[in-house]
Amino acid sequence: MELPYRLYRRDPVWVAPLRSEQAAQLDPLRNPMLQHCEYALFLLRDGGRVVGRIAAFVDRLALEHWGRPIGLFGSYECVDDPAGAALLLSAARDWLRARGMTRLRGPWSFASQEWGLVVEGFTPPPVILAPYNPPYYNDQLVANGLTKAKDLLVYYGDRAEGYEIPPRYLTLTDRVRERYGVTVRGLDMARLEEEVATLVAVSNRALAGNWGYYPVTEAEARALAHDLKQVVNPAALLLAEDAQGAPVGFAMSLPDINRLLHGLDGRLFPFGWLKLLVGLPRLRQYRMWALGVVPEYQGKGIDALLYRHTYEALAPRGVRLEINYVLEDNVPMNNALRHLAVKPLRRYRVYEGEV
């Protein structure tokens, strides 16, 4: 776990994640995702010094949902050494092959939907729950027979740069509300567990057909809610409901606490907690982390309505909203975002190859 803090110590873009959170990802009692995974953790040493790492894992829920023997790798870090990278990926391949996997996909994190390597847009710094890497990581994977499986796109809109939702979208979403009787509300934090269960149910229906997705368990959702409860803005956690009050869509935007973690070296003590406490209410940077609409309401403009409500909820902060990520071949979503006049920012890539 110490390796990335050493590798990136002089990198001005990297944001050191909280060490306590990194430890929690590898603790089955604190990370429910590990309860449906079999995994192995590998270290690369050079003369006793750790210079690389990789995790290989088989996720039973993913295998059931995808119906294909695809193994995963993540937690990838390596010095700029082709031979070292080859050793790491070979170790992961051998372990997965021994468990009946025929394909290798990654990087794929033990944290929900933290996928891929940056291939375009290495600045500005990564937002909350987003990966970061030096450019040469991509060369290492390609040199070892991995090719693009999917690209994930990132957009942003910034009020400080003059961003406003185009008037035609305000008119469109007014019509959507009238036509379908859909309303949007923030989550009720007093009923958080019940609200999280609703979000999980809607998410698993809305995103079931998306590439790379597989069902989120309620235990994982509760763990995420527990971790984020102290930092979320309830007005940015939205549910869309039909005229009968049934949930039909959701949008989750998180304050980008990475802006406050910069320079803390992953530690809240002795003074990091004070920086968070003072800075969080003033934070204007947010990440739209997830958005989905149930199948029977897709293509009806509910996604645009959720974008509008997210923006309007955060606009008083003069917000910079990063929309992260959007599948490259999700044509309706990418077209909608371009019409919303948000700007392209970054591209992540998930790789795949034979084991």
**Can you state the angle between helices 136-143 and 82-97, rounded to 10 degrees?**
50
The Cα 185–Cα 201 span in angstroms is 17
14 lies in some domain: yes
Same domain? 183 vs 140: no
Q: Which helix (H) or strand (E) holds 167?
A: helix 167-180
352 lies in some domain: no
Please give the single-letter amino acid code of residue 274: L
- Which pLDDT belongs to residue 92? 98
Half-sphere exposure of 226 (CA within 13 A, CB side): 11
CATH number assigned to the domain comprising residue 42: 3.40.630
Same domain? 118 vs 167: no
- Which pLDDT belongs to residue 220? 85
Same domain? 194 vs 304: yes
Same domain? 132 vs 111: yes
CATH number assigned to the domain comprising residue 196: 3.40.630.30
Q: Count of domains in the chain? A: 2
Same domain? 108 vs 238: no
- Which pLDDT belongs to residue 223? 82
The Cα 186–Cα 320 span in angstroms is 19
353 lies in some domain: no
50 lies in some domain: yes
- Which pLDDT belongs to residue 326? 94
214 lies in some domain: yes
- Which pLDDT belongs to residue 271? 83
CB 340 within 8 A of CB 307: yes
Same domain? 165 vs 119: no
The Cα 58–Cα 133 span in angstroms is 23
Cβ atoms < 10 Å from Cβ of 214? 17
Pairing of strands 70-78, 103-106: parallel
Report the phi/psi class of residue 221: left, alpha or beta, with left for phi > 0 and alpha for psi in -120 to 50.
alpha
The Cα 182–Cα 241 span in angstroms is 5
- Which pLDDT belongs to residue 12? 94
Cβ atoms < 10 Å from Cβ of 13? 14
- Which pLDDT belongs to residue 190? 86
90 lies in some domain: yes
223 lies in some domain: yes
355 lies in some domain: no
Per-residue pLDDT of the chain (355 residues; tens, 9 = 90+): 999 999 999 999 999 999 999 999 999 889 999 999 999 999 999 999 999 999 999 999 999 999 999 999 999 999 999 999 999 999 999 999 999 999 999 999 988 778 999 999 999 999 999 999 999 999 999 999 999 999 999 999 999 999 999 999 999 999 999 999 999 999 998 888 788 889 889 999 999 989 999 988 888 887 877 777 778 888 899 999 999 999 999 999 999 999 999 999 999 988 889 998 899 989 999 999 999 999 999 999 999 999 999 999 999 889 999 999 899 999 988 988 998 999 999 999 999 999 9
Same domain? 163 vs 147: no
Residue 322: give the domain boundaries.
157-347
Q: Which of 151, 171, 189 is the last residue of a domain?
A: 151
Same domain? 118 vs 170: no
Same domain? 196 vs 128: no
Same domain? 99 vs 189: no
Phi first, then psi, for residue 290 (nearest 5°) are -160, 145
